[in-house]
Amino acid sequence: MRLPDLSLLCRALFGRSGSSRDAIRLDSSIELSWGGTAIVSLLRYSNGCIEVEKKLLPRFQGSADGEMLIDREFSVLSALDHPFIVRPFRIQRGEPNSSAIILEYIRGFSLADLMPFIETLTPAAREQWAHALVSQLICAMHYLKSKNIVHGDISPENILLTEGGMIKLIDFGVARFVIDPPLPYAIAGRPYFRAPEIRISGESSFAGDVYSVGRVLEWILEGVAKHNLSDLIQRLTQDRELPPVELNADGWFEPISPLPADSQKISGTIRAITELEFRGRFFYKYALQVRFAAACVMTICLSSWLPQIGYLTVNSLPYSHFTIDQVPDEIFETPVRSYPVRSGEVTIRFVIPNQNQRRVIRKLRINPQEQAKLFEDFQNVDKF
């Protein structure tokens, strides 16, 4: 059953709608991530509730195409109700004519963030993990197919793993109903996980989603023997066919079951991190102040000999390769988050593969300890 709207819950607890607004207030909004068109933030309320807000980047707010993306994503999510798919709460209208989607908060990490842990597993355990995770994803894909919905951006960054060992598929920003017209711009996403035809046409399809599931499976198993899963990879990436799913005696979608025994390690890791956030002990309650004080002391003591560095985050649409003048021998691929660089002027040279190796140079000044962000829309600048 879908969770009730927060405003309705407040009304039930406090009576009048006016009093609910006064009783529950927004305590903080913390930016979690940002992409080609949207910013995702964590919202904390005075009553302890936590939600996630997804809103347009400022330059897209108020534009017809930008607002259409928000309305379409909310429409798609509202048509879904599945344990492996993120749930929406409501759409929130702001100023000037800007909209945001309020989503459930999920305790966990993305599959991309968990990859260093998965790489520590034995080959047999890693194969077992891969099978369990992708089986859950296949189950979600069967559900999307039954609803005639295309996700369009299946990748490790958009697959969360909860402390209970179950996945949550997120980021339906480019999702659409099959009967909907194509989006007004080419589909983004990491080229490794996109089907070859989508890299050319930019138009999403359910067959492309199935291909992406196979590539996620390959990515999890990179560097280890695939054994019995090689046939499944071929079925997904070449035949574009989902294996059938059936309920077993325990009520699980066959062959889905909770993650193997080693999952207790990651469950404990996630639980420990979330407990740091929610416990009421003094250190956890005042962690921000403690960290700030420690940072001030370290800055004063070490500033005389530590190098002056800042942090650079780079993203582009479409995803591109680039170099930084300070590390000319290393080739990066967007997105890159919080890469340490020396303060001062930084030169970034982009190479856009799907635009005949088009080259673009950008210069950016970074101050010490500054988090500088650079986003370049090489493809859709005239679309919004």
Which of 49, 77, 104 is at the close of a domain? 104
**Paired strand residues for 90:** 102
Measured distance CA(44)–CA(24) in Å, rounded: 10
Residue identified by tokens 């995770």 is 133
Residues 64 and 166 in one domain: no
| Cα separations in angstroms, 252 against 16, 87, 246 | 43, 21, 8
In a domain, 302, yes or no: no
Residues 95 and 137 in one domain: no
In a domain, 166, yes or no: yes
Does 3 score more than 50 pLDDT?
Answer: no
The confidence score (pLDDT) of residue 307 equals 54
Higher per-residue pLDDT: 34 or 2: 34
Measured distance CA(174)–CA(147) in Å, rounded: 16
Name the residue range of residue 367's domain.
309-377
Measured distance CA(384)–CA(380) in Å, rounded: 7
Measured distance CA(156)–CA(167) in Å, rounded: 11
Query: How many other C-beta atoms are found inside a 10 Å radius of the C-beta of residue 80?
Result: 20
Q: Report whether 145 contacts 242 (CB < 8 A).
A: yes
Q: Nearest Cα to 133, choosing from 193, 214, 192?
A: 214
Burial 255-281 (b: 16+ CB within 10 A, else e): ebeebeebbeebbeebeeeeeeeeeee
The confidence score (pLDDT) of residue 295 equals 67
Q: Read off the pLDDT of residues 12-24 as tens digits, 9 standing for 90 and up.
A: 344 443 434 456 7
Residues 32 and 140 in one domain: no
The confidence score (pLDDT) of residue 80 equals 94
Residues 87 and 43 in one domain: yes
Does 52 score more than 70 pLDDT?
Answer: yes
Measured distance CA(53)–CA(104) in Å, rounded: 9
Measured distance CA(195)–CA(138) in Å, rounded: 17
The confidence score (pLDDT) of residue 143 equals 93
Complete DSSP assignment for 37-80 = SEEEEEEEETTS-EEEEEEE-GGGTT-HHHHHHHHHHHHHHHT-
Residues 20 and 89 in one domain: yes
Residues 305-310, mean pLDDT to the nearest whole number: 65
Residues 79-86, mean pLDDT to the nearest whole number: 93
The confidence score (pLDDT) of residue 90 equals 93
Higher per-residue pLDDT: 251 or 120: 120
- For residue 142, how many C-alpha atoms fall within 13 Å in the half-sphere facing its CB? 14
In a domain, 299, yes or no: no
Residues 148 and 13 in one domain: no
The confidence score (pLDDT) of residue 354 equals 73
In a domain, 294, yes or no: no
Poorest-confidence range of 134-138, 187-191, 379-383? 379-383
The confidence score (pLDDT) of residue 128 equals 84
Q: Read off the pLDDT of residues 142-179 as tens digits, 9 standing for 90 and up.
A: 999 999 999 989 999 999 988 778 899 999 988 999 88
Residues 77 and 133 in one domain: no
The confidence score (pLDDT) of residue 142 equals 93
Report the CATH number at residue 333: 2.60.40
Report the CATH number at residue 53: 3.30.200.20
Measured distance CA(317)–CA(315) in Å, rounded: 7
Residues 130 and 78 in one domain: no
113 token code pair: 């963030």
Residues 249 and 126 in one domain: yes
The confidence score (pLDDT) of residue 187 equals 57
| Cα separations in angstroms, 270 against 196, 263, 273 | 35, 11, 5
In a domain, 293, yes or no: no
Q: Report whether 332 contacts 340 (CB < 8 A).
A: no
In a domain, 115, yes or no: yes
* Residue partners of 336: CB distance under 8 A and separation at least 6: 312, 313, 314, 315
Q: Read off the pLDDT of residues 193-251 as tens digits, 9 standing for 90 and up.
A: 888 888 777 778 899 999 999 999 999 998 887 777 888 999 999 999 998 876 555 55
The confidence score (pLDDT) of residue 100 equals 92
- Cβ burial of 227 (10 Å; 0-12, 13-18, 19+) is exposed
Which of 275, 297, 318 is at the close of a domain? 275
Could you tell me what percent of the chain has a pLDDT over 70?
A: 73
Residues 253 and 136 in one domain: yes
Domains in the chain, number: 3
Element (H, E) at 140: helix 123-146
In a domain, 62, yes or no: yes
Which of 47, 71, 104 is at the close of a domain? 104
Residues 45 and 112 in one domain: no
In a domain, 291, yes or no: no
Q: Read off the pLDDT of residues 255-304 as tens digits, 9 standing for 90 and up.
A: 444 455 444 555 554 454 444 333 433 444 455 566 666 666 665 555 54
The confidence score (pLDDT) of residue 290 equals 60
Average pLDDT in the chain: 77
Q: Nearest Cα to 205, choosing from 170, 180, 224?
A: 180
21 token code pair: 């607004």
Kindly calculate the radius of gyration of the chain based on its CA atoms and give it in whole angstroms.
22
Residues 127 and 271 in one domain: yes
Does 124 score more than 50 pLDDT?
Answer: yes
